């Protein structure tokens, strides 16, 4: 059965729409069929859920263009769906997930019989500072160079919590929403720095109490713009804590306003003496569609 889950929102048609495919026991779709399904559904990520000998479930992730090693929001979507389908009980507080790059854990927070919130525990992010001409970067983004506010204290960095992204500080939310990148040049830039996309952020938010507003382009994966990112926003919040621009604790990061799909991503960052010790990202979700294909698809 196929499903669409809106992650980072409890309201349908907001959040990040994610396709989830529950594969039957011993009847997995082969990779070429999975790729075709993901291309047909044409969402940022389609996650295929199957049996695992090493964890509770095995998750495989596909964009419309390629298979990828990990998608944070897709992990949350699939785990939320499993709970909604009564495949997880309220006694289940942690869900273990096998992926191509190792095992991950989702923490499940229940209120009686109802799943209230869910969090993916990330690997501690790594960061690599970059030196790059702001004028060239501004040209790729289609803005003036003075609108890029990355500096010595908050430099351009490749942040990696499972999928490397280039973090770029922008002056305002209006500028973040208005910019139109040159996608051909953006793809070349991503390949040069070996990142899967650009993650733009600003401290100018839409809602009081939020830490940042963000926008992400993943053209290299066939996703011009992602409505929300778990991995990149988790890495961003941890980066701000390590740099002293945010305190350890819970941070709400906004994304998706540019696509009229409001997302509120919760990031929990624990740190001691300025060093991040754990990062969890998640929030709410809702299942909006359930459907099945009319044609018979080949399985392994």
Chain segment 146-181, per-residue pLDDT in tens: 999 999 999 999 999 999 999 999 999 999 999 999
Over residues 215-220, the mean pLDDT reads 94
- pLDDT above 70 covers a percentage of the chain that reads 100
pLDDT for the residue numbered 218: 93
DSSP string, 75-100: HHHHHHHHHHTTSS-TT--EEEEEET
Mean pLDDT (whole number) for 9-14: 97
Question: How much is the pLDDT for 199?
Answer: 98
Contacting residues for 260 by C-beta, under 8 A, at least 6 apart: none
Q: What is the pLDDT of residue 27?
A: 85
Q: pLDDT tens for residues 260-287? A: 999 999 999 999 988 999 999 999 999 9
Mean pLDDT for 184-200 is: 96
Apex CA 121: angle with CA 120 and CA 126, to 5°?
A: 120
User: What is the pTM assigned to this prediction?
Assistant: 0.96
The number of beta carbons lying within 10 Å of the beta carbon of residue 273 is 5
Under the banding of pLDDT at 50, 70 and 90, the label for residue 298 is: confident
CATH class of 126-281: alpha beta
Average of pLDDT values for 16-40? 95
Rounded Cα–Cα distance for residues 215 and 298 (Å): 37
| Superfamily of structural domain 2-121+285-291 | Diaminopimelate Epimerase; Chain A, domain 1 (3.10.310.10)
User: What confidence score (pLDDT) does residue 93 get?
Assistant: 97
Q: How many CB atoms lie within 10 A of CB 204?
A: 15
pLDDT higher than 80, residue 295:
yes
Q: What is the pLDDT of residues 81-136, one digit of tens each?
A: 999 999 999 999 999 999 999 999 999 999 999 999 999 999 999 999 998 999 99
Phi, psi of 252 (to 5 degrees): -105, 125
Query: What pLDDT is stored for residue 147 in this prediction?
Result: 97
Residue range(s) in the chain whose domain bears CATH number 3.10.310.10: 2-121+285-291, 126-281
For 202, list phi and psi in degrees, rounded to 5.
Answer: -145, 150
Look at residue 25 and tell me whether its pLDDT is greater than 90: no
Read off the pLDDT of residues 219-247 as tens digits, 9 standing for 90 and up: 999 899 999 999 999 999 999 999 999 99
Would the pLDDT of 300 be above 80?
Answer: no
């Amino acid at each position: 059965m196929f499903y669409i889950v809106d992650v980072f929102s409890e309201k349908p048609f907001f959040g990040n729409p994610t396709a989830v495919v529950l594969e039957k026991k011993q009847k997995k779709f082969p990779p070429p069929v999975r790729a075709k399904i993901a291309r047909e559904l044409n969402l940022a990520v389609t996650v295929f859920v199957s049996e695992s000998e090493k964890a509770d479930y095995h998750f495989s992730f596909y964009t419309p263009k390629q298979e990828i090693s990990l998608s944070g929001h897709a992990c949350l979507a699939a785990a939320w769906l499993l709970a909604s389908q009564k495949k997880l009980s309220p006694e289940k507080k942690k869900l273990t997930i096998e992926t191509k790059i190792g095992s991950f854990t989702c923490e499940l927070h229940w209120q009686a019989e109802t799943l209230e919130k869910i969090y993916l525990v990330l690997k501690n992010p790594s960061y690599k500072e970059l030196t790059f001409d702001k004028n060239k970067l501004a040209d790729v983004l289609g803005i003036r160079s003075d609108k890029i506010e990355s500096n010595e204290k908050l430099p351009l960095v490749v942040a990696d919590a499972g999928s490397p992204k280039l973090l770029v500080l922008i002056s305002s939310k209006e500028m973040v929403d208005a910019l139109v990148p040159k996608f051909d040049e953006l793809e070349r830039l991503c390949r040069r720095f070996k990142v899967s996309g650009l993650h733009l952020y600003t401290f100018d938010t839409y809602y009081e109490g939020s830490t940042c507003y963000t926008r992400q382009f993943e053209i290299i994966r066939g996703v011009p713009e992602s409505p929300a990112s778990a991995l990149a926003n988790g890495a961003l919040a941890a980066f701000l804590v390590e740099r002293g621009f945010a305190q350890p604790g819970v941070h709400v990061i906004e994304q998706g306003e540019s696509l009229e799909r409001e997302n509120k991503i919760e990031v929990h960052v624990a740190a001691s003496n300025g060093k991040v010790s754990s990062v969890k990202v998640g929030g709410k979700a809702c299942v909006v569609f359930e459907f099945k294909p009319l044609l018979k698809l080949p399985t392994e």
